[in-house]
Amino acid sequence: MLNPRSTKRQMVRICHLLAEKDYVSAMDGNVSCRLPDGRFLATPTMVHKGFVAEEDLIVVGADGKKVEGPDDRNPTSEIFMHLAVYERRPDVHAVVHAHPPTAVAFTLAGETLARCVLPEVVLTLGQIPTAPYRTAGSHELAHVVGELITGYDAILLERHGAICAGRDLVDAFGKMEKVEHTAIITHKARMLGRVQELQCAEVDRLRQMGARYSSRGTPAPACEGCDGCPTGIPWQKEPDFTVLRATGTARAAGTTTATQTAAAKHGIEQIVTEEIVRALSGRLSPY
Ligand SMILES: [Zn+2]
Q: Where are the domains of the chain?
A: 4-249
Confidence band (pLDDT; 50, 70, 90) for 199?
confident
CB count within 10 Å of CB 258 equals 15
**Pick the residue with more confidence: 186 or 257?**
186
Distances (CA, A) of 274 to 179, 214, 263, 287: 41, 54, 16, 20
Residue 58 to residue 41: CA distance in whole angstroms: 6
What pLDDT score was predicted for residue 209? 87
Distance 6 CA to ligand 1 centre (A): 25
Q: Is 193 left (phi over 0), alpha (psi -120 to 50) or beta?
A: left
Q: What pLDDT shows up at residue 200?
A: 81
**78 catalytic per annotation:** yes
Q: What is the CATH number of domain 4-249?
A: 3.40.225.10
Query: How far away, in angstroms, is 131 Cα from ligand 1 center?
Result: 13
Using the 8-state DSSP alphabet, how is residue 114 labeled?
-
Which of the four pLDDT bands, split at 50, 70 and 90, describes residue 168? very high
DSSP 8-state code for residue 195: P
Among 16, 75, 70, CA closest to 40: 75
In this structure, are residues 121 and 178 in contact, taking their beta carbons and an 8 Å threshold? Answer: yes
Determine the pLDDT at residue 41. Answer: 98
Q: Which of 25-34, 150-159, 179-188, 199-208 shows the lowest mean pLDDT across its residues? A: 199-208
pLDDT exceeds 80 at position 149: yes
pTM for the whole structure: 0.78
Q: Is the dihedral of CA 116, 118, 122, 126 positive or negative?
A: negative
Classify strands 94-98 and 130-131 as parallel, antiparallel or unpaired.
unpaired
Distance in Å, CA 116 to ligand 1 centroid: 26
Helix axes 101-108, 169-192, angle to 10 degrees: 60
Q: In what order do the strands lie in the sheet with 58-60?
A: 66-68, 58-60, 40-42, 30-34, 94-98, 161-166, 154-157, 130-131
From 78, 158, 180, 224, the catalytic residue: 78
Distance 29 CA to ligand 1 centre (A): 5
Residue 61 or residue 216, greater confidence: 61
